[in-house]
Amino acid sequence: MNAPMYVKVMDPVRQEVYTAQLHLKSGQYFLEPADEDHPTEVILSPGWMDLHVHVYDGVTPLSISADLIGLNTGVHLVADAGSAGEATLAGFRRYVVPTYRTEVRAWLNISSIGLVHLREASDINLFDVEKTINAVLDNQPFICGVKVRSERNIVGSLGLQPLQLARTVARAVGKPLMVHIGEPPPNVEDILELLDPGDVVTHCFHGKVGNPWTADGEPIPALMKALQRGVKIDVGHGAGSFSFEIAKKAISSGSTPFSISTDAHAMNINGPVYDLPTTMTKMLTCGMNLMDVISAVTSAPAEVLGLQNWCNLSGPLQRATLFRISEQPPVGRAYMDTKGREITPNEVIVPEAVISDGALIRIDRVTTTLTHNPTDLG
Ligand SMILES: [Zn+2]
């Protein structure tokens, strides 16, 4: 880095924005608050995280490489949401995760087989509570919680049973549940009633029958109660689970999602999802403010994953994401929901670089590869 580089720092823990100089001292980066307001377009936040992706590449049919949607797009850590179950977890950790530069955590599927089959929760023989409990306990902190998909075409005649078994495991190990919601049965009211503080409802803005919002965008009573007792709602955009209309109405009625995640997988990374910054841009366009969007990919997932120091911006910076707000969407990028509706964002979140393991790495968006040439971004 040649000239001093100024950045606008977004601190989601203190909910503060300030100008700082990014200093390189003895090979390490430090933030020093700047006296004057130096104009800069570069914004620095703690490293972004994505709580719902599928990255058991080569084994489950929907999975992709974590680096495609990870460091290459400003995302330092991704949490795989149930691609592995207790029977398939070892292969994920031994042969797949070590090939990624992006940090990976996982929600363990309550179904022993994970997502090698997409009706993974439809057969009672596919669950083993004891083995799943042991797999969670033996794989700390890699396993961040238990995943269950509680939707009609996935659970079949088992109804709420997969969720009840997942809850049994989650409570036994003291970890949160991540519950996928969709078309009933089970009814979303019955699902929400089984959730405890800290549990996460993913696909919160799915626009299917049985979604948990009123026509005015207010939470239905069961969701209101769940939110009041500390259940968290997560975007989980996916290929079929995100409606602009529902998201806009909910946000304008005062409900912001706790976390923003992509549910990135093979069927949506070429659209409509693409990556986390695209999903963040959509949430900005749906009415969230930038600080809330940044909190939803930094301090919020850090809380779910129990990463107390993740957002620390003092001392030598181990990780951070640098980005800017552009008026121009990337060429050819459409901002669609999963209902086929399109919006035109006025402000597009564009990742520029990451500080990873203390090194500044520019994101080359043309080749989507990482280069190790620290560049003055100012
Ligand atoms: Zn998913």
Q: CA 125 to CA 119: how far, in whole Å?
A: 12
pLDDT above 70 (res 20): yes
pLDDT above 70 (res 97): yes
Q: Which of 132-141, 272-281, 328-337, 338-347 has the lowest mean pLDDT?
A: 328-337
> Average of pLDDT values for 263-269?
97
- Please tell me the distance between residue 293's alpha carbon and the centre of ligand 1 in angstroms: 20
The token pair at 251 is 């946000």
CB atoms within 10 A of CB 95: 13
Confidence of residue 3 (pLDDT cuts 50, 70, 90): low
> Average of pLDDT values for 41-52?
97
- Please tell me the distance between residue 112's alpha carbon and the centre of ligand 1 in angstroms: 16
Segment 127-186, tens digit of pLDDT: 999 999 999 999 999 999 999 999 999 999 999 999 999 999 999 999 999 999 999 999
Q: CA 59 to CA 332: how far, in whole Å?
A: 31
Confidence of residue 369 (pLDDT cuts 50, 70, 90): very low
The token pair at 250 is 């909910």
Q: Which amino acid is at 279?
A: T
Confidence of residue 278 (pLDDT cuts 50, 70, 90): very high
% residues pLDDT > 70 (the chain): 95
- Predicted pLDDT of residue 329: 87
Sheet arrangement for strand 143-150? 48-53, 75-85, 103-109, 143-150, 177-181, 200-202, 232-234
Q: What protein residues have CB closer than 5 angstroms to ion ligand 1? A: 81, 263
> Average of pLDDT values for 50-77?
96
- Predicted pLDDT of residue 2: 53
Q: Which amino acid is at 325?
A: I
Q: CA 258 to CA 295: how far, in whole Å?
A: 8
- Please tell me the distance between residue 60's alpha carbon and the centre of ligand 1 in angstroms: 12
- Predicted pLDDT of residue 376: 44
Q: Where are the domains of the chain?
A: 5-46+316-371, 48-305
- Please tell me the distance between residue 262's alpha carbon and the centre of ligand 1 in angstroms: 8
- Please tell me the distance between residue 371's alpha carbon and the centre of ligand 1 in angstroms: 30
Q: CA 266 to CA 274: how far, in whole Å?
A: 10
- Please tell me the distance between residue 360's alpha carbon and the centre of ligand 1 in angstroms: 31
- Please tell me the distance between residue 106's alpha carbon and the centre of ligand 1 in angstroms: 12
What is 26-37 written as a DSSP string?
Answer: TTEEEEEE-SS-
Cis peptide before 185 (omega within 30 of 0): yes
Q: CA 31 to CA 197: how far, in whole Å?
A: 35
For 5-46+316-371, CATH number?
2.30.40
Q: Tell me the Cα Rg of the chain.
A: 20
Contact between 257 and 286 under an 8 Å Cβ cutoff? The reply is no
Confidence of residue 332 (pLDDT cuts 50, 70, 90): confident
- Please tell me the distance between residue 132's alpha carbon and the centre of ligand 1 in angstroms: 19
Confidence of residue 372 (pLDDT cuts 50, 70, 90): very low
Contact between 46 and 319 under an 8 Å Cβ cutoff? The reply is yes
**CATH architecture of the domain with residue range 48-305:** Alpha-Beta Barrel (3.20)
The token pair at 65 is 């490489």
Buried b vs exposed e over 350-365: b needs ≥16 C-beta within 10 Å? bbbbbbbeebbbbbee
> Average of pLDDT values for 322-340?
93
Segment 191-245, tens digit of pLDDT: 999 999 999 999 999 999 999 999 999 999 999 999 999 999 999 999 999 999 9
The token pair at 206 is 């799915």
pLDDT above 50 (res 378): no
How distant is the alpha carbon of residue 127 from its chain centre?
26
Cis peptide before 184 (omega within 30 of 0): no
What is 290-321 written as a DSSP string?
Answer: HHHHHHTTTHHHHHHHT-TTTT--SSS-SEEE
CB atoms within 10 A of CB 62: 18
% residues pLDDT > 90 (the chain): 91
CB atoms within 10 A of CB 39: 9
Alpha-carbon distances of 133 from 75, 87, 138, 272, 306, rounded to whole Å: 29, 12, 9, 35, 19
Nearest to 356 by CA among 311, 321, 324, 309: 321
Segment 280-307, tens digit of pLDDT: 999 999 999 999 999 999 999 999 999 9
